[in-house]
Amino acid sequence: MTNITGSCSCCSIKYQITGPVQKVVNCHCDHCKKMNGSAISTYVAVLDHDFIITQGEVKQFAISEKASKYFCGDCGTPLFNEYIKHSGLKMLHLGGLDSINDLTPSMNLYSESQIAWIDDVSSIPSLKQKKDSESATDCSNPRLTWSDLALS
């Protein structure tokens, strides 16, 4: 799978992967949980020279001396991370890609930090996403309302 595209939520930043995906991984480390505000972070590793920003300019935040996070300065969408120990790779956030169904994680990193309920996610009741008339790859923003959650 090559020539994959992606964007931030507001479409200010658009990018393209022009070469093969090196690996898709789930990270369970406490650092990624805190940095991304999620229980798990799924990354798509690509070589630096196979990644092109086609629109906009990304903002950078130095997470530590060894890692930087890149994101959209307008909407805050995380786009990719770079790590000194993985020089030459960009770790793209899976959710920013326009087509993700063919990308399956092949490894769980730092599984000792995995939240206990992750293994049971498929058994939790699900609510389907309502889509607007435009495709999600056209940067539409389908939204759920609080009433959709049937909180009581």
How many CA atoms, within 13 angstroms, populate the side-chain half-sphere of residue 108? 11
Q: For residues 110 and 119, give the distance between their C-alpha atoms in angstroms, rounded to a whole number.
A: 15
pLDDT of residue 72: 96
- pLDDT surpassing 60 at residue 25: yes
**If you average pLDDT over residues 18-30, what whole number do you get?**
93
Position 31, amino acid: H
Position 104, amino acid: T
| Predicted model pTM | 0.80
pLDDT of residue 119: 87
How buried is residue 22: exposed, middle or buried, by Cβ count under 10 Å (0-12/13-18/19+)? middle
Cβ contact 38:29 at 8 Å: no
Measured from the Cβ of residue 140, the count of other Cβ atoms closer than 10 Å reads: 13
How many CA atoms, within 13 angstroms, populate the side-chain half-sphere of residue 134? 8
pLDDT of residue 16: 97
Domains of the chain and CATH, by start: 4-117+129-149 (2.170.150.70)
In the beta sheet, which residues pair with residue 64? Answer: none
pLDDT of residue 134: 47
Tell me the pLDDT tens digit for each residue of 54-108. Answer: 999 999 999 889 989 999 999 999 999 998 888 999 999 999 999 888 899 999 9
